[in-house]
Structure 1
Amino acid sequence: MEALAVRLSGLDAHVDGALRVIMFYDTLMRRRVDLPALARASAGLAECVAGVRLHGTGRTIRCAPDGAEAAGPPSPASSSAPVTLDEEEIGTVWLERPGPPVPLDEVLLDRLAIAAAAVAERYGPERTTMADPALVELVISPGTDEAARTRALRLLGFAADLPVQVVAVRSRLPLDRVGGLICPARPVKAAPLGDVGVLLATTVDRAAFPAGVHAGIGAAGGPDRSWEQARTALRFTTTRRPVVHHGELGALALLAQVPRDTARTNADVAAVARVAAVPEDLATLEAYCATGSLRRAADLLHLHHSSVARRLDQIARTLGVELTEPHGLLRATLALTTWRLLGD
């Protein structure tokens, strides 16, 4: 690297200095260095901290002039430049110079940005699961044009010919751990979006979701449509059924479109809300609606069937339906499902 050991302080601010900076980065690119090497070389050249960040990975690289990782919190950038690829901004490069920018900083950052884009295109995104939430949101948003969606998917590491499934997740576990479990050998990216986690995956092993995770899975295909389906499916998850695929809902998915005020004032739904005030009664109703059998409900609840029968008699009076009749069981199941969707 001796041939690269130049410093901006030793260059003039005119044509000769700019040409030497350009030659410096041309040499780095010919050597096919990676992003950390780019940041180290740039920090040495600039004699201050240099940083690189690609949106697709969310990783930030900051190097000090001595080549070591920059210590402490980042200082305000004295100057910065966007990293662009195919007219899409995919990252940022910057300098943290203690004083004002020097005349050749603009040239340095311009060449560093070009070199970083070349590295991103050559090597693709790093093998990390967590991704920039803004890039993931661009993929799943219904307002994104297809060209921008395709570019975003490519930056996240998904080939154009691979279908992508979207999973909506509620979990106390780290999203990258969940993503690695459900799609261990193929591309998967994760990001938080509001109070819901988003997973983009080429395959989903629903049996691999860890305990305590609630997940709604959308169909493969358009990520925006898959995201809408995944959010709907997530609303139907329960403790007994923590993972729901939208395709399994069938006509039940229509319940998610019922206005909240309309659902809340329905007599059957209001009756379920009264039942839910007693946790034991709610658990009994859920078990009976899930099994359609008094004895199987008793097995789920680990109770004697006579105890469950007494509870069901009281619940039936509260609901005003005959739970042993198919019509009554259907009404109770629909009302219970609608009450859950309210999330009150």
Structure 2
Amino acid sequence: MHQLAGYLNSLDPAAGEALRIVSYFDVLIARGAGLDGLLRGAAVLSGTAAGAEIRGRVTRRAPDGQPLTEPADPGRRSLHRSHADWTVWLERHGEPQPHDEMILERLALGVELLRARRQHEAGLDAIVDPVRPVAERVTLLAERRIDPSASVRLLATHADATAPDTGAPSAIVPTRYGLLRATLDLTGKLATPEPAGLGTWTRADRAPESWDVAVVALRLTDASTPIVDATDLGAMLLLAQAYDPQSPHDDVRTLAALDPRAADILRTLAEADSIRSAATELGMHHSTIQARHEALTHTLGYDPRTTIGRMRYIAATLLLRLTAPSVPPRPETA
């Protein structure tokens, strides 16, 4: 499909873009995206806010994918589609853009399919949504024949990860880190695709708590640790949950600015028993490592080999993994 879209785009850019839009929504729908995922897709593709009202409940997404909570301006609903119990729209000043109709058409189709599906089975994205009332979550669990007091945990994987073939509830869910796949684990025996973040075990009616930490755990995976269990984080989990990745701490900004070689030397210095053993591990002269230690201490603003310094370094390393790839530079001081 991507090759066909590229070929069409070379012949007829308008047709190529239309096919890309169709393909984009088809993938979202096939992967079980919920309403937020569909609105996010429409907003990203159109470059303007997308909204939906279903049985009196309004949900809106900005072009950057973030939820909009302020009241919508009725005058900006340049295009809309309505059904018996739902309406979807794009919010744009002035005339619609060339592909707005196609985007809205695919959004409407996605919502219609979503509603049809949820007449029989509510999406998992609703169960892990923290803004939903507990009573509503209990109802959704009951519809799936899941005891609200049952012990469950959520698994977080990338959106393009293969969904479990065990019948475990799974859906694409929008998060602050983009679209991720949520899977409800009732047994602890699910075959987990890698990488994956495992949430803590909790009552089913408190599923959002497990999902929140599963997302954190996924962000902490790497090539050497492709699966991270949030339970293993202990007290560090509190720090990770309180962290705002859009507003990095100065310690995090400083680590992000280090080049790979300096970062490797710093890690070795923080973990080694002594500066001499760090020099041996790095294959460098003791005096050279001593000089690098002093320079890094000046750059960091703390000594990574002291107890407090190691604590700051470990915390900053953890939070750096939770930070968006592009870390804003430290603000200039007067």
Q: How high is the TM-score relative to the length of structure 2?
A: 0.48
Which protein has greater RCO, CA pairs closer than 8 Å, 6+ apart?
Answer: 2
Q: How high is the TM-score relative to the length of structure 1?
A: 0.47
